[in-house]
Amino acid sequence: MHIAMIGTGYVGLVSGACFADFGHQVTCVDKDADKIAALRHGEIPIFEPGLEALVATNVAASRLDFTTDLAGPVAEADAVFIAVGTPSRRGDGHADLSYVYAAAREIAAAVRGFTVVVTKSTVPVGTGDEVERLIFEANPSADVVVASNPEFLREGAAIRDFKFPDRIVIGTSDERGRKALGDIYRPLSLNQAPLMFTARRTAELIKYAANAFLATKITFINEIADLSEKVGADIQEVARGIGLDNRIGTKFLHAGPGYGGSCFPKDTRALVKIAEDHDTPLRIVESVVTVNDNRKRAMARKVAQALGGNLRNKTIAVLGLAFKPDTDDMREAPSIPLITGLRDMGAKVRAFDPASMKEARRELPDIAYCDDVYACAEGADALVIVTEWVQFRALDLPRLKRIMKQPVMVDLRNVYRPDEMAELGFAYSSIGRDRA
């Protein structure tokens, strides 16, 4: 099938490359001319394991190409996916749908013949109705079905998630739309991935409900971690003890500095707004948003506590800046409010991240960036682990102790064991395992 992917970011590029790998003919479109030029030279604008090779193979097989011109590929397409950004709208937290609607208008002017227009971006309930209205307003004779197909991939494991999904949600009641999307995803249903057909609005809500639930799970274990510290329990064991119950499950029960990233923060905020607009406040999700926002900055106070409360002129080495390992994405990363908080308290900050330092420089221009862990730690008053990159799981601890000004580690991901760190002579604090 011919597919046009509008928006070539994390979701558009991964989805486009995977669809091409299934054998479809895919054109990825983006307004960002630099991004398209780079892709045409084989340069991948994001850090995502396996993506470069997947793109190269499919470009070489002439199944995947890149352009800034939307009209050509849309005219030829059987299906057009909208995968543009839906960031938080400045000021009120609603999802900003201006990119989605702009894409819909452009698509309306370009479609030829029967075409399924599919929203892959995460969008509030009812957005599909508005996309449909805009298309028929601009082009009343268009032969178009508008469907919702939310994406559940995770950055860092995006290709695997796309090719082996837990489920594929297809939201349309139109038979032609269902058939077209069923055909597009057929290679996956051979892998036994459940294809779930629903109404469009239901599909739109599934995506927000899923992200809000996962954000709630993380926030729940974070609060239980704070209580663990107060009562002298170990959060790692509490999490395992509850997670082994199949009804709860072990995933998303890792206590840490609060969730970040391009999805959970903006999607929880948007869901709160959607619910308010429908006069059905979601109190649990509202609390999750507030608790998580406060937590990120509280991490700076935790570091201060580890150094006796005063950070003035102290040097803090921060390991990990991206919101999670295996990505360079800095959107709403916990490292940002943490580092801002440290600097507000008078600390000097140095940082190292294996992939995100280029991105980080835009958000955090006033800190020092180091070439590796040990350059970062040299002479530091404290070392803070913020992102649990695999590179930080087996640090040379005796060496760190030798080169740091004092052996203080604040491990916000519980990578190390308190007893071992104490034996090595570190003043070590972590999440939900410190005795108050």
Ligand X SMILES: NC(=O)c1ccc[n+]([C@@H]2O[C@H](COP(=O)([O-])OP(=O)(O)OC[C@H]3O[C@@H](n4cnc5c(N)ncnc54)[C@H](O)[C@@H]3O)[C@@H](O)[C@H]2O)c1
Does position 11 bind ligand X by CB under 6 A? Answer: yes
Does position 127 bind ligand X by CB under 6 A? Answer: no
**Minimum distance, C-beta of residue 277 to ligand X, in the bound complex (Å):** 19
Question: Is 30 or 328 the residue whose CB approaches ligand X more closely?
Answer: 30
Question: Is 86 or 315 the residue whose CB approaches ligand X more closely?
Answer: 86
Q: DSSP code of 154?
A: -
Identify each DSSP E strand in 128-235 by its residue range: 144-148, 168-171, 195-198
Beta-carbon count within 10 A of 34 CB: 9
The CA-atom distances, in angstroms, between 231 and each of 217, 235, 278, 420 are: 21, 11, 41, 22
Six-digit token string for 62:
């002439």
Does position 386 bind ligand X by CB under 6 A? Answer: no
Select the residue interacting with ligand X from 5, 24, 30, 77 (CB under 6 A): 30
- Let me know if 376 is a catalytic residue: no
**Minimum distance, C-beta of residue 86 to ligand X, in the bound complex (Å):** 4
Select the residue interacting with ligand X from 3, 5, 7, 421 (CB under 6 A): 7
The active-site residue out of 28, 263, 370, 376 is 263
Q: Considering only 30-38, 163-171, 229-237, 238-246, which stretch makes contact with ligand X by CB under 6 A? A: 30-38
The CA-atom distances, in angstroms, between 376 and each of 368, 372, 420 are: 9, 6, 22
First CA to last CA distance, the chain: 61
Q: Considering only 79-87, 219-227, 244-252, 394-402, which stretch makes contact with ligand X by CB under 6 A? A: 79-87
Q: Tell me whether residue 148 is exposed, middle or buried, using C-beta atoms within 10 angstroms of its C-beta: 0 to 12, 13 to 18, 19 or more.
A: buried
Site for ligand X in 250-309 (CB under 6 A): 262-263
In degrees and rounded to multiples of 5, residue 66 shows phi and psi of: -130, 140
Q: How far apart are CA 265 and CA 88, in angstroms?
A: 9
Select the residue interacting with ligand X from 6, 64, 180, 235 (CB under 6 A): 6
**Minimum distance, C-beta of residue 95 to ligand X, in the bound complex (Å):** 8
Does position 102 bind ligand X by CB under 6 A? Answer: yes
Upper half-sphere CA count for residue 272 (Cβ side, 13 Å) = 19
Does position 8 bind ligand X by CB under 6 A? Answer: yes
**Minimum distance, C-beta of residue 32 to ligand X, in the bound complex (Å):** 4
Does position 155 bind ligand X by CB under 6 A? Answer: yes
Cβ atoms of 315 and 336 within 8 Å: the answer is no
Active site residues: 263
Residues that bind ligand X (CB under 6 A): 6-12, 29-32, 35, 70, 83-86, 99, 102-103, 121-122, 151, 153, 155, 262-263
